[in-house]
Amino acid sequence: MKLISKTLATLMLISSTTFAADKPNVVLMLADNVGYGDIGAFSGGEVRGIPTPNIDRLAGEGMTLTQFLVEPGCTPSRAGLMTGRYSTRVGLNTVIIGGTPNTLTASEVTLAEIFKKMDYATAYAGKWHLGMEEQSWPTRQGFDEYHVGVIETSDGTLYRESMERSGMDDAFVEQVVPRIFESDAEGNLTPVREYTVEYRHQVEGDIAAASVEFIGRQAKAKTPFFMMIGWTHSHYPSVTAPEFAGKSRIGPYGDAILELDHSTGRVLAALEKAGVDDNTIVIWLSDNGATPISGPPEYRGGNNGPFSGELGDAREGSIRVPGMIKWPGKIAPGRNNGMVSIHDFLPTLASIIGVETPSDRAIDGVDQSDFFLGRQDHSNREHLITFIENEVAAVRWRQFRIYPKDFMVSGGVPARPGLAGHRAEMTSMPSIYNIEYDPREEDNLIASKAWVFRPYMGAIGAYYKSLQRYPNPKGVSLTKFEE
C-alpha cells in the first residue's frame, strides 16, 4: 500500500512538473521613452557615456529585435501591447491627460486576461497610463495585484509647483496632482502617497523591489506567473536615486538610463535566485522613442539612433525602439531584423501558452511564435500603420515609409519632430522614403518608387474594410471637436 501511494505521489509530481514546464513564466518589462540609440545592444550604451550591461546581457542571451515598432505615444503603445489592437480601435489614440475621457474599457480583452485563462498568477508594478476609471484599473483588467501604481505619467510630478506658482486654489491642486496606488485583496486601489518629484528619486527602486518580491513569492508557490513591469525611466523629469545622480557622462537623462539598467538587473537576478530563469520568457521593450529635441532642455539626452523623429510624431525615430525577448533553450540568441510590432505580443504569447485570441474583434497583432522559436526564418509582419489621433499618419511597408501627411511647425520653420510639431495637409502625392538607405528620411522617392503605392493602398484598404465589421469607438482629440 505504501509502495502504491509513493508511486502515485511520484506520478503526480512528474505530471505537475511537466504541466508547469509547458506553461512558462513571463516577465515583460516596458521602459518609458527610451530611444533606439540609448542602449548598448543597439549601438548606444558606453559609447554615449551610459553603459547598460544588464540590458545588454539580456539582449545577448535572447533575440535582439532591431526592427521593433510601436505607436507614437505612451498610452497608444500600451493600449496596443495590452490588447493586440491598434490604439485607435480601443479609443486610446492619444496620450491620456487628466480630464480627458479616453480610458481602457471593460470590454477589451487584455494580455493579463489571456494569462488568467490558463490560471497564471498575474501582477503589475509601475506605470500604467491606460486610464483612472475603475474599469481601467490593472486589477479590473486581468491583474491580480498592482504595486507602486503610477497610474498616470511622470510629468505629473511637476504639476503641484506649476499650479501653485500659477495661483491655483488648493482644492483644484489636490484634485489634479498624481498619486501612487496599491491594490488590496479584492483588487481595490488605494492612493498611498502623492507622486512628487521627491518620490520620483525613489520610485524606480520601489518598482524593482515589488517585482522582485512577487517573483520570489510566486516561484515558491510553484504556479506559473505573468509579471509586467512599467518602468518610469527615462521619462522626464529624469531624476534618480542618489547613487545614480551624476554618474553618467551625459547628465540627468543618462543617470536615469543607468538606474533603469540597474533595476533591470535586479529583476534578472531575482529570476536566477528563485531558480525559474530557465523556464521564464523575459521581454524588454521601450514604449516609444526619446525626446532629444522637444523635451524639457534640462532632461534631454535621449538618442533615437540613425532615425529622424521622436515621441509624438509618426517618423521612424518615434516608433522604432529597443526590443528583445529571451527564453533559454527555446529562442536562439542573436540579432534579427525581422519586423515585429508591440501589437504582436498578445497573439504570440497566447499561442505559446495555448489560448485562442478573441474572434469577435479586429486583432492587429500577428502570431510571431514560429519566428521567435526558430520554426521559420522570417517575421509574419510586413507592414504597420501609424496613427496620429484617428488619422492614418504613416504606413511602414517592408523598408519603405509612406506619409499621406507632412509634419511641420508654423512660421516657415523646417519640419520639427515630436510633440512640438503638427500635421499639415499635403496637396499632391504622399512622400516615400527607403528607411534602410535613408534613415533620416531626407530623400523623397516619389518619382522613382510610385509602385510602392500598391501595397500602401492595400494595407490602408484592408484596415478600412475591417471598420465595416468592427467600427472604431469615437476617438479623443484635444484640438478637433464635434458637437
The lowest-confidence range among 236-240, 408-412, 447-451 is 408-412
| Amino acid present at 388 | I
| Long-range Cβ contact pairs of 448-451 (< 8 A, separation 24 or more) | 449/400
- Determine the angle formed by the axes of helices 345-353 and 74-83, rounding to 10 degrees: 30
Element at 384 (helix H, strand E)? strand 383-388
Tens of pLDDT, residue by residue over 73-92, are 999 999 999 999 999 999 99
Q: Which pLDDT band, with edges at 50, 70 and 90, does 476 fall under?
A: confident
List, for residues 295-309, the tens digit of each pLDDT value.
Answer: 678 888 999 999 998
pLDDT of 414 higher than 50: no
The confidence score (pLDDT) of residue 264 equals: 98
Q: What is the chain's mean pLDDT, rounded?
A: 90
Query: CATH for 384-469?
Result: 3.30.1120.10
pLDDT (tens digit, 9 = 90+) per residue, 10-46?
334 333 333 345 799 999 999 999 999 999 999 999 9
User: How much is the pLDDT for 2?
Assistant: 45
Consecutive H or E run containing 172: helix 170-176
The sign of the dihedral angle between the CA atoms of 120, 23, 343, 361 is negative
The per-residue pLDDT for range 206-225, each reduced to its tens digit, is 999 999 999 999 999 989 99
3-state secondary structure of 150: strand
Give the 3-state secondary structure of residue 34.
coil
Answer yes or no: are the C-beta atoms of 30 and 285 closer than 8 Å. Answer: yes
Task: Tell which residue, 385, 372, 304, 295, has the closest CA to residue 76.
Answer: 385
Contacts of 273 (CB under 8 A, 6+ apart): 216
pLDDT of amino acid 411:
39
Residues 110 and 128: their CA atoms lie apart, in Å, by 13
Looking at residue 396, what is its pLDDT? Answer: 97
With the C-alpha atoms ordered 439, 444, 448, 450, is the resulting torsion angle positive or negative?
A: positive
| Predicted local distance difference test score (pLDDT) of residue 8 | 42
Going by pLDDT thresholds of 50, 70 and 90, the confidence category of residue 481 is confident
The least confident of 257-266, 267-276, 285-294 is: 285-294
* This prediction's pTM: 0.93
Is the pLDDT assigned to residue 161 strictly greater than 50?
yes
- The pLDDT of residue 19 is 39
Residue type, 345: F
Residue 415, pLDDT > 80, answer no
Average pLDDT over residues 254-283: 98
**What is the dihedral angle through the alpha carbons of 164, 166, 167, 172, rounded to the nearest 10 degrees?**
-60
Residue 392 contacts by C-beta under 8 Å, 6 or more apart in sequence?
A: 385, 386, 404, 460, 463
- What is the structure's pLDDT at 38? 97
Which whole number is the average pLDDT over 159-168? 88
| Predicted pLDDT of residue 1 | 45
Residue 23 cell numbers, joined: 506553461
Specify the domain boundaries for CATH 3.30.1120.10 within the chain. Answer: 384-469
Q: In a 3-state reduction of DSSP, which class is residue 472? A: coil
Q: What percent of the chain is modeled with pLDDT above 90?
A: 75
Q: Which residues contact 449 (CB under 8 A, 6 or more apart)?
A: 400, 432, 434
- Residue 7 or 108, more confident: 108
Q: pLDDT confidence of 228, banded at 50, 70, 90? A: very high
What integer pLDDT is reported at residue 241 of this predicted model? 97
Q: What separation in angstroms does the CA of 429 have from each of 26, 336, 406, 421, 445? A: 45, 33, 11, 21, 11
Q: 24-382 architecture in CATH? A: 3-Layer(aba) Sandwich (3.40)
The model's confidence at residue 406, banded by pLDDT at 50, 70 and 90, is low
What residues does CATH 3.40.720.10 cover in the chain?
24-382
